[in-house]
Amino acid sequence: MLHTVNKSPFERNSLNTCLGLVKPGSAVLLIEDGVVGAIKGTAIEDQLIQAMQSCKLYVLGPDLAARGLAEDKLLDGIQVVDYGGFVDLVAEHTSVQSWL
């Protein structure tokens, strides 16, 4: 399953709830305000590092760029995708859950 999260983890619990329910082998894509969670040195860094042991984490590049967040600030292991990559992720997974 592909999970997308579009809310800041510092404002809403969407990402936290999502990570509590992801199955190993799933993918989590941070989009819109959700991209702010992908940065190194945040309060949720450890939670993301743990999630990456069984899941893949992605972040949408255009949403990072729009918020002035450079890719060298990203937590190691998080992959940047563009809109085409977003489409590929949707196509690769049998279902998508949007955590709003």
Q: Which residues bind other proteins (CB under 8 A)?
A: 1, 13, 17, 20-23, 94-100
Measured between alpha carbons, how far is 28 from 49 in angstroms, rounded to an integer? 13
42/3 Cα distance (integer angstroms): 21
Residue type, 48: L
Nearest to 37 by CA among 49, 24, 26, 21: 49
Nearer to other proteins by C-beta: 4 or 61?
Answer: 4
In the complex with other proteins, which residue's Cβ is closer, 27 or 39? 27
Residue 98 Cβ vs other proteins, minimum distance, rounded to whole Å: 6
Residue closer to other proteins (CB basis): 15 or 64: 15
Judged by CB, which is closer to other proteins: 24, or 68? 24
Shortest distance, position 4 Cβ to other proteins, whole Å: 10
CA dist., res. 58 & res. 36, Å (int): 12
